[in-house]
Amino acid sequence: MRVLFAALAALTLAACEASVSSKGGEAAGADGYTMEVRANAHQQTYLIVTPEGRTVGAQAAEGASALMDATRAQALFSEPPPRSSSEDVPEVFSLRLPGFDMSVRGRDDDTTEENGQVQLSIGGGNGQQITVDADEGGPGEADDRAYVRITGADEEAVRDFINDAEELSAEVKTQMLAELGI
């Protein structure tokens, strides 16, 4: 369940940090940054898209990390996100209010807690959306994967997102911030 817990931790962190903030009298919303993490048992990819549409990315694997080429980062961001191996994950909780929508889907496929899926979606009318889709494939970590996407984030949330990415080296974090101009 490590991938599921990591995805939930990322969601909690994102929910706290990707709040609407005011800059120059305007709230960061639909025109804010988009942050994305695509992870499996062997590699983590961090992608950030600026309000202007520039994409900056980094990858980490086996204790090493590197900034991605801008063309590769853009191409990867344009690819459809990875999805759970089963699209029929049952909804276990939902809350829908005007301007706010939250749904939680999940499955614990066995009693050993070594296999499970979670799909979370939280959004509001302010252009912010948080999506988590994680799948722990079974015994071992070979099939574990997680996808987290946060839209409508401000610069402070992006800075925190990068600085909290434990798999990225300090040098790569600095390079990402410089590429983003923040």
- The string of pLDDT tens digits covering residues 14-72 is 444 434 333 332 333 457 999 999 998 889 999 999 999 999 999 999 999 999 999 99
Q: What CA dihedral angle connects 107, 79, 43 and 82, to 10 degrees?
A: 10
The model carries a pTM of 0.74
Sign of CA dihedral 151, 152, 155, 160: negative
- pLDDT at position 81: 79
How many domains are there within the chain?
1
Tokens at 50, concatenated? 């600026």
The residue-averaged pLDDT of 122-148 equals 75
Picking from 19-23, 87-91, 108-112, 173-177, which range would have the lowest pLDDT averaged per residue?
A: 19-23
pLDDT of 115 above 90 = no
Taking the C-alpha atoms of residue 131 and residue 148, their distance in angstroms, rounded to an integer, is 6
pLDDT of 96 above 90 = no
End-to-end CA distance of the chain: 34
Boundaries of domain holding 139: 2-180
- pLDDT at position 140: 55
